[in-house]
């Protein structure tokens, strides 16, 4: 029986009765019912009531090549018929992860040439945490095991992901994080820069917080620093250009590994294949997932730098870690076909030279002046709109997140899927968006802001 045999009401009732959703207040969901998305094509998603909604979030920051790509379905189908599954344990391999690993090594910064596969970004960060600690143990420094992260960071939802992340409510529910992880300030100038401090100076000060944490712990105890090049779930927080090169310099100075979490920024979103290239840095690990397959299959790839890989090979000894679906042949076949599309259509270059700059200009010229908007910012095709009660003083509305939800609901009703996090509206569209799609999105944002203004004042 297919879902078409059920009415929307029935699907919602079954959903409420049996399906526990991620990151959801289940009481609220019972009351409201879920929006059921049934199909999608190009930049649009369609719900079970037939509404066409422009997807401003690329699913969940992942559908970079847009929906309805037969080529990806065919790649999965061919691979499923030939070899649906075999593992990469016990000195076995299958062709598609081998070829994908080679391809990723070619795309990544030049000192990054090895790949460890998983099925999700969270899993990949678990791997990254285990790997950097294993690395220092192999180097004869098992006490060099602390990780420095940032407040408000998001690194996934497994125990290790939650612990690496800096989301307080998640830590509270976890009730005991993985030990030896500390969190320092995030590089978010709009809220944290001092009066008169330039962006450049603020970036250096935020990087200094990393140095202070290393010195306080003792460099001989610090394994690595981890960060999203641009914080995503925490509200598209874009650091000043001075931040990352300085963090890299500090990590090298104290012999601390640099881990980048590019689960959102990887595969073109910033106008380069990886944000590491946008910021000109060479990390020791790069966590990737989401757009690796454009979300058509669950797959993550932890890209591992030569320094760590060399030690693994030279020192030997089993790394006691891995997943049944590591290097899943079907997911890897889809990833290869997805990278073909991104390359063939020149999507990375388009973000860098066309849609990215146009998106920034459109936000600035059409959204920034609205009464409800404190700041707009973007990098490539990720952007944010800060919702405020008072533009001049940056005062927020009462009840954190309440106003942004009002804007979001109007946006969805106006035909644009946006996300609200705290008091921030987030955009992370498919990379197939054109200037015309950006114009259409801005029309709908303006409409949503106007309607929200009426509700909120
Ligand atoms: N890291 C970052 C930066 C993310 O944004 C996410 C998910 O949004 C994750 C890790 C976790 O990935 P997943 O949900 O695939 O486990």
pLDDT digits (tens, 9 = 90+) for 117-145: 999 999 999 999 999 999 999 999 999 99
Ligand 1: which atom is nearest the Cα of residue 61? 8
Distance from C-alpha of 60 to C-alpha of 196, rounded to nearest angstrom: 36
Cα distances (angstroms) measured from residue 311 to each of 111, 118, 128, 336: 14, 21, 15, 28
112 sits in which H/E element: strand 112-118
Residues with CB under 6 A from ligand 1: 120-122, 125, 154-156, 228, 232-233, 261, 263-264, 289
The atom of ligand 1 lying closest to the CA of 158 is 16
Q: Are 249 and 83 in contact (CB under 8 A)?
A: no
Mutate to test the pocket of ligand 1, among 122, 170, 267, 426 (most ligand atoms within 8 A of CB): 122
Centre of ligand 1 from the C-alpha of residue 260, in Å: 12
* Residue nearest atom 6 of ligand 1, based on CA coordinates: 156
Q: Write the DSSP symbol of residue 353.
A: I
Summarised one tens digit per residue, pLDDT across range 61-87 is 999 999 999 999 999 999 999 999 999
The angle at the Cα of 133, spanning 139 to 129, to the nearest 5 degrees, equals: 150
ipTM entry: 0.99
Give the dihedral of Cα atoms 378, 383, 388, 393; nearest 10 deg. Answer: -10
pLDDT of residue 53: 98
DSSP string, 251-273: HHHTT-EEEEE-TTTTTTTTSSS
Ligand 1 atom with minimal separation from the 119 CA = 15
Give the residue, out of 62, 162, 290, 294, with the most ligand 1 atoms within 8 A of its beta carbon, to mutate for a pocket test. 290
Determine the residue of 263, 269, 291 to mutate for testing ligand 1's pocket, defined as the one with the most ligand atoms within 8 A of the Cβ atom: 263
Ligand 1 centroid to Cα of residue 414, in Å, is 28
Measure 432 CA to ligand 1 centroid, in angstroms: 22
Q: What would the pLDDT profile of 273-325 be if each residue is shown by its tens digit?
A: 999 999 999 999 999 999 999 999 999 999 999 999 999 999 999 999 999 99
Q: What is the pLDDT of residue 265?
A: 98
Cβ atoms < 10 Å from Cβ of 179: 8
At 306 the pLDDT is 98
Q: What pLDDT does residue 99 have?
A: 98
* pLDDT above 70 (res 27): yes
Cβ neighbour number for residue 154 with a 10 Å cutoff: 25
Per residue in 327-350, pLDDT (tens digit) is 999 999 999 999 999 999 999 999
Q: What is the pTM of this model?
A: 0.97
DSSP E strand boundaries for 337-437: 373-379, 382-387, 416-417, 419-421, 424-427
> What is the distance in A from the centroid of ligand 1 to the CA of 160?
12
Give the CA distances from residue 451 to residues 363, 404, 407, 419, 440, in Å, rounded to whole numbers and listed in that order. 18, 12, 8, 17, 17
Q: Are 275 and 237 in contact (CB under 8 A)?
A: no
């Amino acid at each position: 029986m297919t879902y078409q045999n059920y009415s929307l009401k029935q699907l919602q009732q079954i959903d409420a009765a049996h399906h526990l959703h991620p990151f959801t207040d289940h009481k609220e969901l019972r009351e409201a019912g879920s929006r059921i998305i049934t199909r999608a094509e190009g930049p649009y998603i369609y719900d079970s009531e037939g509404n066409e909604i422009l997807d401003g979030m690329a699913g969940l920051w992942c559908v970079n090549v847009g929906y309805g790509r037969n080529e990806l379905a065919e790649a999965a189908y061919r691979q499923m018929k030939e070899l649906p599954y075999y593992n990469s344990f016990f000195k076995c391999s299958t062709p598609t992860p081998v070829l994908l690993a080679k391809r990723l090594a070619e795309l990544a910064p030049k000192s990054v040439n090895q790949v460890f596969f998983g099925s999700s970004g969270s899993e990949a960060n678990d791997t990254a945490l285990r790997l950097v600690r294993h690395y220092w143990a192999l180097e004869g420094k098992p006490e060099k095991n602390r990780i420095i992260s940032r407040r408000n960071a998001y690194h996934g939802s497994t125990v290790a992901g939650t612990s690496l992340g800096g989301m307080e409510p998640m830590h509270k529910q976890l009730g005991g994080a993985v030990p030896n992880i500390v969190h320092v300030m995030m590089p978010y100038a709009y809220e944290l820069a001092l009066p008169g401090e330039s962006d450049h100076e603020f970036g250096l000060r935020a990087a200094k917080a990393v140095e202070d944490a290393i010195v306080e712990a003792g460099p001989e105890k610090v394994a690595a620093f981890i960060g999203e090049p641009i914080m995503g779930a925490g509200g598209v927080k874009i650091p000043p250009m001075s931040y990352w090169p300085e963090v890299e310099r500090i990590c090298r100075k104290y012999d601390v590994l640099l881990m980048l979490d590019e689960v959102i920024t990887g595969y073109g979103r910033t106008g380069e294949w990886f944000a590491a290239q946008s910021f000109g840095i060479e990390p020791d690990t790069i966590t990737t997932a989401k757009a690796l397959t454009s979300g058509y299959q669950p797959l993550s790839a932890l890209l591992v730098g030569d320094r760590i890989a060399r030690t693994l090979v030279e020192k030997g000894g089993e790394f006691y870690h891995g997943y049944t679906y590591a290097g899943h042949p079907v997911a890897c076949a889809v990833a290869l076909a997805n990278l073909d599309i991104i390359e063939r259509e020149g999507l990375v270059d388009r973000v860098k030279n066309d849609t990215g700059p146009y998106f920034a200009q459109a936000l600035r010229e059409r959204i920034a002046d609205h009464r409800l908007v404190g700041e707009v910012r973007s990098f490539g095709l990720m952007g944010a709109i800060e919702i405020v009660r008072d533009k001049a003083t940056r005062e927020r509305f009462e009840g954190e997140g309440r106003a942004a939800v009002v804007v979001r609901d109007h946006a969805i009703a106006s035909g644009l899927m946006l996300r609200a996090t705290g008091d921030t509206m987030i955009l992370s569209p498919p990379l197939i968006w054109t200037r015309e799609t950006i114009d259409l999105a801005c029309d709908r944002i303006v409409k949503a802001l106007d309607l929200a203004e009426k509700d909120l004042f």
